[in-house]
Amino acid sequence: MSSQSDGLMMALQDLSTYAGLSRHRRIKLYFLGMVLFNACLYLIIYRGHKDVVTGRQVSTSKPHDLGVISSRDLSKVACDPEVIKDIVRHHGENAKEQEGKLCPKNTKTGEEPSRGFLSRFLEWWHSGSEDNSTNTHRSLSASHDYNLVLNEPEVCRTKGRNETDVFLLVCVFTIHSNFERRKAIRETWGSQKIVRGKQIMTLFMLGKSKNQYHQRLVELESKRHGDIIMEDFVDSYQNLTLKTIMTMKWTSQYCSDVNYVMKTDDDMYINYDALITHLTDPETPKTKHFVGNKFSGNAPIRNPKSKWYVPKKMYSNPRYPSFCSGTGYVMSGDIPARAYNMSLHTRFLYLEDVYMGLCMKKLKIKMTGHSGFHIDNQPYKYCAYKRMITTHGKTTTEMYRIWEDQGSRAGTICVGIHKPLHRH
């Protein structure tokens, strides 16, 4: 009872300082006032009286409970478990516990003892308010308890042995509908398995699609090519961070001995020859190495209309840590497991490249910039493309054209090829 009294006092204090309430609570207060106002009208005008409306007698029986809480009683809600799991996982809570709280009809747990109106009112009043969060860091962390839908557990293993021979694992972020892009990658730059004596494995990373037709086609595509990794979170732009965490987790479990790991997108053209040249350079670190197109000192975009909008409640600092563009970055093989473990204790942010920057900062791993990583669509020139590692925004037609031209002119001598590119 003392906790209820304390809670009631907090609610009364909030009511007495209306101007200082959060927007969330002001909406609740307005809604509560409207309910009470209508309840008073009902008691004054209708209670205990009969009237005739369009020839029928108005019932004087006791109306259903008009309380705000009873009309929103969660025990009457039956939710889609998949939707609830996505919401819960996105915010890092335990999926089964939260499904039991949000969708009691979906669980077989014992019923909670009945609570009085005061307890339910206080719970409703304090729910959703930012200033009453008891464990904000945990509730907004990127806990990752998703399950693999499509997996290729043996791709990094050599037949007959447990050790991996894979030097570079390339993880291409794609979506279900981009069938032609995956086909183009398999037939162009992603077709290379051995470059300069180093084995390369190229895989495609996806979440699960709400489009059952696309989902089924990707499953068939996976059976044919054996190069797709998928978990059961919903594949969307807002879930790119989940896809990144999936990549770190999968690599640490199934390709833990790989030397380097690359993350890139399906509209990129990757020059494996230049990349392998960089990674085998004696000056390139073999551990704690994170390289790409580096950004430093960038401020969060607070404009809600922007694709990259980040409100202060999601990220309050005025500047992001240093990070490498998500269009293409490479890390040494010791990082994925450490990054995955750190992600479980890092506040969720849907900008996956910035999120990786946050994890690397906590791990004290320095980001390295490299002039070979381009985030824009570089016009095609044979020698220029022999030097660069990545270029962005390529159509499937361009991929084929570049690949064919690079192959047909393989003997062409370009000045400065394989010399170390600028690092910063």
The residue among 218, 226, 168, 159 whose CA lies nearest residue 192 is 168
Least confident of 91-100, 171-180, 228-237, 412-421: 91-100
pLDDT of residue 38: 76
pTM above 0.85, yes or no: no
List pLDDT tens digits, range 233-249: 999 999 999 999 999 99
- pLDDT band of 227, cuts 50, 70, 90: very high
List pLDDT tens digits, range 141-162: 556 889 999 999 999 986 544 4
Domain annotation for the chain: domains and CATH numbers: 2-139 (no CATH), 148-408 (3.90.550.50)
- pLDDT band of 3, cuts 50, 70, 90: low
**Mean pLDDT for all residues in the chain:** 78
Residues 349/362, Cβ–Cβ less than 8 Å: no
Question: What average pLDDT does the segment 204-221 reach?
Answer: 96
Other CB atoms within 10 Å distance of the CB of residue 224: 8
Residues 372/292, Cβ–Cβ less than 8 Å: no
